[in-house]
Amino acid sequence: MHEADLIGYLLNLLDEEEKHRVASSLAQSEQLQARLQHWQTVVQPLGWDREHPSPPQDLLIATLLRVARYRVEQEQASSPAGTEGPAALPDRGPAPTFSLRAGLRRRIDLVIAVAIVLLVTLLIPPLVLEARQQYHELLCRNNLRQFHSALVQYESRYKERPGPEREGPLAWAGVYACQLREAGLLSADVTVVCPARPMPAPDIPSCKQLGTASADQLAKWRREAGGCYGYYLGYMENNELRRLSRRVLEKCCDSVNLGEIPVMADRPPRRSELPLGNGNSPNHNQRGQNVLFYGGHVRFVTSCRIGTDHIYLNRDGRCAAGLSPDDAVLAPSEMPPLP
Amino acid sequence: MFEEFKPLDRCQDEELIRLFREGVTEAFGVLVRRYHRELFGYLERYLGDRAAAEDVFQNTFLQVYQKLDQYQAERPFRPWLYTVATHQAIDAMRRAGRRPSVSLDVWREQGPNGQWVSLTSMVQSAAPDPSDSLDEAERRQWVRASVAALPEKLRMTLILAYYQGLRYQEIAEVLGIPVGTVKSRLHAALVRLQRMWSNRVGDMGGSR
C-alpha cells in the first residue's frame, strides 16, 4: 500500500471504497498500523494552527457591495442613454417582487440597494446605514490605493516621496497634491475628496503657480488643495526637514519597519472640531480613519493611535514634523511642518 | 403540490445556486456568508497577506456571480468555488510579481527583546523542538512559517487537504491535475515538514 493511501485515510481524503480497503488492510497488519502512527505524529503539529484566520468584519458586506457595483455598472452600460437605474433585478430569472426605481437615482444608493437585495435575509434598518458607511470606506480605501501608485511613481522618479518644504510657499502638508499634479501623476481616478465627505473637487495649482500667488490666493490653496486627506509632514534629522525615501531609510534605519509607516489618511479633526470628538477623522463620522502605509496597504483603524504612534501628532504631542521617520504626523492641508 | 418551505440557511450549496438562478436573489448572500470564514482562511494561508486575501475573496465571488452560467448544476459547488478562488489567487500573485513564500520575510514578528525577526529565521531557530520554548501563539506562527516555507505546489496541496478538508479527488479537480499527482505532492509536503520538524516532533504535546 502506498503511503499516500495511509495519509489519505488519516486525513479523510479517500472516497468510501478506498477508505474501506485501507481500513481492512490496517486491521490485518501491525506494520501498517505503525506506519499510520508515524504519519499521525508527523501531522500532529499542524493542529497548532488548525483554526481558520478570522475574516475582516466587513468582508461579507464589502463582497456583496463589489458584486452589486458590477451589477449596477453592467445595467447602466446596457441601458439606453439618458435612463437611470436598473429596471429589474436580477438578470437571471424573473424580476423580483419590488422595483428599485422609486427615489433610488444616485448610483451609490443603487449599489447599496442591490447589495441589500443580495443579502435580504439580514434586511434590518441598521444594515442600510452600515452598508452605506462601509461602501464609503471601501471607496476611500480604493482612492488611497490609487494615491499609493502615484506616490511610488513619484519616488522612483525623484528618489523621495513628495512633501512640504521647511519654509516658503511650499511649506504646508497639502502641497503633495500639487507636486503629484505637476509630475503628471494625478490621474482622473484619484481625488483628494474622500467619498464619505462629498464636496467640490478643489483647484490644485502647480508648484510654479504657488511661487507667484498673492497671499490671499496662497492661503486659499493651502486650505483646500490637500482635500480631505492628511499627509506625512516629514521628520527632523540634524535640524533638517526630511521626506520619506526608501533609499535613505534602508541605509540608516535598520530598526524601522518601513512598510508600516503611515503616509496618508483621512484628515484629522481641526481645532474647532476636536472638543466634540474622540480625535478620529471627521470624514467617517469619527468612527475611525483609513490609513495608507508606506508599504501600500490601507487599513481602517478605529483609533488615531497605531501602536504607540499617534498618527496626527508627533512624540511631543504637536501637529508638526516627526522626531524620527516612524514618528509619522499626517496633517491637514494647511499645516506647516514647523509651526 | 408546493415545494416544502425550507430556510435558505439549511439549503445545500447546489440548491442555493438553483434558487439564485430561479430569481431568489438573496441565495447568493447566503453562499457568501456560508463560505466567508472558510474561504478567507484558505486565501490568507495561501497568499500570506491579509489585504490580498480580502481582495481575492471579493474577486472570487464576483467571478462566481459572473460565471454562474458556466457552472454545471450536477457538479458539487465547493470544489468549483475553490477552483475559482485558486485561479484568482494565482493571478493576484502574478500581478504582484511575487511568490507567496517571499512573504515569509515580509511577515515580521516582534522578538522577545523587541527586535524584528522574519518568520524564516523563526523556523530555522525554533527547530528541532519548539514545544520547549514557544507559547501557543508562537507555536501557531512557527507552524504557519513552516508551511509557508514549502514549495508552492506542495503547500497548496497541503492547505487544501489538511486545512480545507477537500478530498483527493476534489483537490485534483481544483488544481486540474491527476489524483496520483495530488497524492505524491501531499506525501512530499509531509516528508519535507517532517525533515523541518526533525524526529523529535513525536515528543511534542499537540493541542489537536
Q: Name the DSSP class of B159.
A: I
d(CA B129, CA B131): 6
The per-residue pLDDT for A110 is 65
Mean pLDDT of A62-77: 80
Give dist(CA A289, CA A302) in Å, integer.
7
Which residues have C-beta within 8 Å of that of residue A306, sequence separation ≥ 6?
A262, A291
Contacts of B61 in chain A (CB under 8 A): 63, 66-67
- The yes-or-no verdict on residue A241 having pLDDT over 60 is yes
Q: Positive or negative CA dihedral for B17, B22, B24, B25?
A: positive
Q: Say what the pLDDT of residue A161 is.
A: 96
Binned at pLDDT 50, 70 and 90, residue B159 comes out as very high
Is A59 within 8 Å of chain B by CB?
Answer: yes
Task: List A residues 228-257 in contact with B (Cβ-Cβ < 8 A).
Answer: 255, 257
Contact B29 A62 (CB under 8 A): no
Name the amino acid, one letter, at A290. N
Interface pTM, i.e. ipTM = 0.78
Whether residue A88 is predicted with pLDDT greater than 90 in this model: the reply is: no
**Residue whose C-alpha is closest to residue B82's, from B126, B123, B45:** B45
* Per-residue model confidence as pLDDT tens digits over B97-141: 755 443 433 333 434 444 434 444 444 444 445 555 567 788 888
Residue ranges per structural domain of chain B: 2-96, 107-206
Considering only CB atoms, which chain B residues are within 8 Å of A54? 37
pTM of full prediction above 0.80: no
Burial class (CB in 10 A: 0-12, 13-18, 19+), B15: middle
Q: Where are the domains of chain A?
A: 3-47, 147-331
* C-beta separation of A55 from B61 below 8 A: no
Q: SS3 breakdown of chain B: % helix, strand, coil, rounded to 5?
A: 70, 5, 25
Say what percent of chain A tops pLDDT 90: 49
DSSP 8-state code for residue A47: G
Question: What mean pLDDT value characterizes chain B?
Answer: 78
Look at B106 and A7 and tell me if their CB atoms are within 8 Å.
Answer: no
Question: Would the CB atoms of A50 and B33 count as touching at under 8 Å?
Answer: no
Q: Does residue A65 surpass a pLDDT of 90?
A: no
CATH 2.160.10.10 applies to domain B107-206: no
CATH architecture of B2-96: Orthogonal Bundle (1.10)
Task: Count Cα atoms within 13 angstroms, Cβ side, for A113.
Answer: 21
pLDDT (0 to 100) of residue B205: 43
Residue A104 has pLDDT above 70, yes or no: no
> Does A270 have pLDDT greater than 80?
no
pLDDT digits (tens, 9 = 90+) for B22-71: 777 778 888 898 999 999 999 999 998 899 999 999 999 999 999 988 88
pLDDT digits (tens, 9 = 90+) for A144-185: 998 999 999 999 999 999 999 999 999 999 999 999 999 999
Please state, in angstroms and rounded to a whole number, the distance separating the CA atoms of residues B118 and B122. 7
Long-range contacts of A242-247 (CB under 8 A, 24+ apart): A242/A325, A243/A160, A243/A161, A243/A162, A243/A163, A244/A155, A244/A160, A244/A161, A244/A163, A244/A294, A244/A325, A245/A155, A245/A159, A245/A160, A245/A161, A246/A155, A247/A159, A247/A160
Q: Are A113 and A104 in contact (CB under 8 A)?
A: yes
pLDDT tens track for A278-314: 789 989 888 899 999 998 999 999 999 998 889 999 9
* The pLDDT value given to residue B72: 86
